[in-house]
Structure 1
Amino acid sequence: MTEKKLIAIDLDGTTLHSDGVTISDYTKAIFKKVEQKGHQIVIATGRPYRMAIDIYQELGLESPMINFNGGMTSIPNQKWAHTVSKHIDKALIFDLIKHQHTFKLDFLAAEYRRKFFINALDKADPGIFGVESFLPHHQLKIEKLNANPNAVLLQTRITDKISLADKMDEHFKNQVNVSAWGGPNGILEVVPKGVSKASALKHLLKINKQERSDLIAFGDEHNDIEMIKFAGTGYAMKNASATLLPHADQQLKWTNDEDGVARQLQEMLL
């Protein structure tokens, strides 16, 4: 396997250890060696830009970064001709507020590249948004929604959040994509229709003049399904959700806490 590869890495549950912060020195060293071989490593995450940029910098990447599950593709700190930033009509937020009881939502939040607004500060964990505590300017108010958001984050009390995601897709007449986060919390994310990690990676392959067979992807959760299916080779982590496994070419022998992504790349490319 000597062709130049585009390597898409999810963050939470995949590249990062389970604390959602730690990247081992081993992983950093392997990534650097892989890049020196001419391969490109691209973060593909549901996290907003503001919650992924520190990780991008810690890894020393210079490649594009995919945020909001494909809603934004950019090269940090560069004016890049191929930047993509897709948005949701803010009218959807007002509709969600109207149906908050129907969907049993604790909160909903409008997400932008550098900021967010949430409608129920007392019902949310600030850590989900990458802050230690909420401040008054985080409160969602109609007058603050002067631009369409990149995504909307929700927390539901309904146990089967994947079924709820399907119901919400129907409610919005398939005008948006609704996907569930991994883990025990009832977090759902709403992004523009047709947006996924796979759609963003298709954009990058076209720019690079590469084929799908050149794409290697690593993931662990429901929001990685399209990416894993689209990739020439899609790997599910040892700790991956059962919903992802049927779509992966292979399940790794290692978890995220065992640096599974780096171990697999070392075996394949170094």
Structure 2
Amino acid sequence: MFLFFPYRSFFTLFFRIVQKSAILDRNSDTTGEPMKHKVIALDLDGTLLTPNGDITDYTKKTLQRIRQEGHQIVIATGRPYRMALHYYRELQLDTPMINFNGSLIHIPEKKWAGERHYLLDKKYLLEFLEQAETFEADFIAGEYKHKFFLTQDHLDSIDPQLFGVEKIGPETEMKPERITSDPHSILMQTRAKDKYQLAEEMNRYFDYGLEINTWGGPLNILETCGKGVNKATALAYLLETMNRTAADLIAFGDEHNDVEMLQFAQIGYAMKNASNTLIPHADRRTSFSNQEDGVARELEALFL
């Protein structure tokens, strides 16, 4: 069963976008006054991570100093939980994390009453399998919080580290009889030359009933979640649990799956290396790319 975000979260998101221009004038770093404590939402691939998938020592130290100043860091990523956990640990975070582009909101390795799962009807996963050749798929994966199943027809095109494992084994092979529960998301790597065009074609195929987005970074990855699920609606819910508002939020991203998040935040930053599909939706751009510690340099200028 697919669960939609509460109406209140959708209303919060809509109201936030409508009122954004007015809020941008409030608590601005251009006033000369210190900014109040903020919630800082960070995408991973193409944003916080280098092209090699690392977090530099400079970025780690800068984020630690930011937290010491009273600001809160939240990871908001399309990555599955197991593929983001080691970054959460590296940064020594204790805040909730958003995975699967908003389908999972939780505090890693802890029980939390506010944890939320927004699942995708498994019928879509079965339909993806039927359309694998049409979508030019290297692999299709059904993603769950603690497990995954994926097609293994093109094993040479699959990087096990993408799934947080040492190797891809038969126990993870996608078979229709193994799809007994609804996944959080569907992950697909494609051979299509234009992943943005393919995403649009897939959206048309599914009559715009799903959220199909591209990942940042060098891989040709598309991720599919249920309609109405995105990083912004997840952050709207998360801010409510923290007794904060969108006026307290700063966000950084680089790809199409960050559009709603940047629109929702008080200040939305597109990375210097951001996709052209994201740039029109950002308030500002970082002066440096993800290869140049762009997030850390911007936060240092804002707060330190």
Q: Assess same fold via TM > 0.5.
A: yes
Counterpart-to-counterpart distance in 1, 2:105 and 2:217: 25
Q: Which amino acid aligns with 1:198?
A: A
Q: CA deviation at 1:198?
A: 0.7
Aligned to 2:151: 119
Aligned to 1:78: 110
Aligned to 1:53: 85
Secondary structure (helix, strand or coil) at the match of 1:52 reads helix
Q: Which amino acid aligns with 1:164?
A: L
Match of 2:274 among 240, 253, 257: 240
Deviations 1:239-269 (A, max 9, x none): 1112211111111111112211111111111
State yes or no: 1:36 paired with 2:68: yes
Q: CA deviation at 1:2?
A: 2.8
Unaligned residue ranges in structure 1 (runs of 5+): none
Q: CA deviation at 1:183?
A: 4.4
Aligned to 2:43: 10
Cα pair distance change 1:203/1:19, threshold 3 Å: same
State yes or no: 1:210 paired with 2:244: yes
For the 8 Å contact 2:41–2:73, the answer to whether it is kept is: yes
State yes or no: 1:198 paired with 2:246: no
Cα pair distance change 1:183/1:63, threshold 3 Å: closer
Counterpart-to-counterpart distance in 2, 1:251 and 1:112: 33
Q: CA deviation at 1:143?
A: 2.7
Counterpart-to-counterpart distance in 1, 2:222 and 2:289: 24
Q: Which amino acid aligns with 2:202?
A: M
Counterpart-to-counterpart distance in 2, 1:261 and 1:66: 18
Unaligned residue ranges in structure 2 (runs of 5+): 1-33
What RMSD in Å do the two structures reach over aligned CA positions?
1.6
Q: CA deviation at 1:224?
A: 1.1
Aligned to 2:56: 24
- Identity across the alignment (%): 49
State yes or no: 1:230 paired with 2:264: yes
Aligned to 1:260: 294
Aligned to 1:137: 171
Deviations 1:171-225 (A, max 9, x none): 2233221111234543211111111111111111222222222110011112111
Q: CA deviation at 1:80?
A: 1.0
Counterpart-to-counterpart distance in 1, 2:244 and 2:148: 35
TM-score (norm 1): 0.94
Secondary structure (helix, strand or coil) at the match of 2:257 reads helix
TM-score (norm 2): 0.84
Q: CA deviation at 1:100?
A: 2.0
Aligned to 2:216: 182
Counterpart-to-counterpart distance in 1, 2:50 and 2:194: 26
Secondary structure (helix, strand or coil) at the match of 2:213 reads strand
- More displaced 10-residue stretch of structure 1: 166-175 or 223-232: 166-175
Q: Which amino acid aligns with 1:35?
A: R
Q: Which amino acid aligns with 1:19?
A: N
